[in-house]
Amino acid sequence: MRVAVILTILLCILVAEVSGAAAPADQAPATAARLRLTQDGLKISVSTRTPEQVIAFYSARGFAESAVAELAAACMVTVGIRNQRDQVVWLEPASWRLLAADGRTLRRLDRAYWKARWEQLGIPTANRSTFGWTQLPEQRDLRFDEPVGGNLMLARPGQPFDIEARFLLGAARDEGEIVVRIADLQCPDRAVQAAGEPES
Amino acid sequence: MRRAWLIVILLAALTASAAVAVELPKGMMALTARPAPPLRLADMDGRVTDLSTLRGRWVLVHFWASWCGPCRREMPTLASMYARTGLTTVLVNTAESDEEVFAFMSVAAPNMESLMDRDGLVTEAWQPRGLPASFLVDPAGQLRYLALGGRDWESAAYLAFLAAVSRGGAAPAAAAENPR
CA distances from B6 to A60, A97, B3, B24 (A): 63, 50, 5, 27
Question: Phi/psi at A147 (nearest 5 deg)?
Answer: -95, 155
**By the CB < 8 Å criterion, does A80 face chain B?**
no
Check residue A34 and give its pLDDT: 82
Measured CA to CA, the distance from residue A51 to residue A148 in angstroms comes to 23
Q: What angle is formed at CA B24 by the lines to CA B23 and CA B29, rounded to 5 degrees?
A: 160
- Position A197 confidence tier, pLDDT thresholds 50, 70, 90: very low
Which of B66, B131, B145, B155 to mutate to probe the A interface, most A CBs <10 Å?
Answer: B131
∠ Cα B174 B34 B163 (to 5°) = 60
Q: Which residues of A39-69 are buried (b: 16+ CB within 10 A; e: fewer)?
A: bbbbebebbbbbbeebbebbeebbbbeebbe
Residues of chain A numbered 28-47 and touching chain B (CB < 8 Å): none
Query: Domain limits of chain A?
Result: 22-185
A133 in contact with B, Cβ within 8 Å: yes
Domains of chain B from N-terminus onward:
2-166 (3.40.30.10)
Nearest residue to A93 (alpha-carbon basis) of A163, A187, A23: A163
Give the mean pLDDT of chain A.
Answer: 84
Residue-level length of chain A: 200
Q: Which of B70, B130, B148 is opposite residue A137, by nearest beta carbon? A: B130
CB B15 within 8 Å of CB A10: no
pLDDT digit string, tens, across residues B117-148:
999 999 999 999 999 999 999 999 999 999 99
Q: How far apart are CA B91 and CA B115, in angstroms?
A: 6
CB proximity A144 to B under 8 Å: yes
CATH fold of A22-185 reads Immunoglobulin-like (2.60.40)
Say if residue B172's pLDDT is above 80: no
Interacting residues of A152 by C-beta distance below 8 A, sequence separation 6+: A76, A77, A78, A79, A93, A96, A108, A135, A136, A163
Phi, psi of A122 (to 5 degrees): 65, 40
CB contact under 8 A, A170 and B119: no
Query: Given pLDDT bands bounded at 50, 70 and 90, which one contains residue B6?
Result: low
Angle at alpha carbon of residue B76, lines to A129 and A53, rounded to 5°: 45
Using the Cβ of A53 and the Cβ atoms of chain B, whether some distance falls under 8 Å is answered with no
In this predicted structure, the answer to whether residue B154 has a pLDDT above a threshold of 80 is yes
Q: Is the pLDDT of residue A82 over 70?
A: yes
Q: Is A189 helix (H, G, I), strand (E, B) or coil?
A: coil
With a cut of 50, say whether residue B179 has pLDDT above it.
no
Tens of pLDDT, residue by residue over B29-65, are: 999 999 999 999 999 999 999 999 999 999 999 999 9
